[in-house]
Amino acid sequence: MTTFGLTVYVLIWPVLSTLVLITLCSALVFDIRKAKKEGKSLV
């Protein structure tokens, strides 16, 4: 494996983790807004 290939492989994990975190946070915000609109508790 080349140095470039290894660098890309190592750096792709933080990018994927960030995308998953953004997805989870946006879904949480959506659920919070929906619960407040319906007058329900999130828990």
Provide the percentage of residues in the chain whose pLDDT is more than 70. 100
Inform me whether the pLDDT recorded for 5 exceeds 80: yes
Average pLDDT over every residue of 2-31: 95
Q: What is the pTM of this model?
A: 0.72
Using DSSP, state whether 11 is helix, strand or coil.
Answer: helix
Contact between 15 and 21 (Cβ < 8 Å): no
- Give residue 11's pLDDT: 93
**Domain limits for position 12:** 1-43
Q: Report the C-alpha gap between 32 and 34 in whole angstroms.
A: 5
Q: Report the C-alpha gap between 7 and 12 in whole angstroms.
A: 9
Inform me whether the pLDDT recorded for 38 exceeds 90: yes
In total, how many domains does the chain have? 1
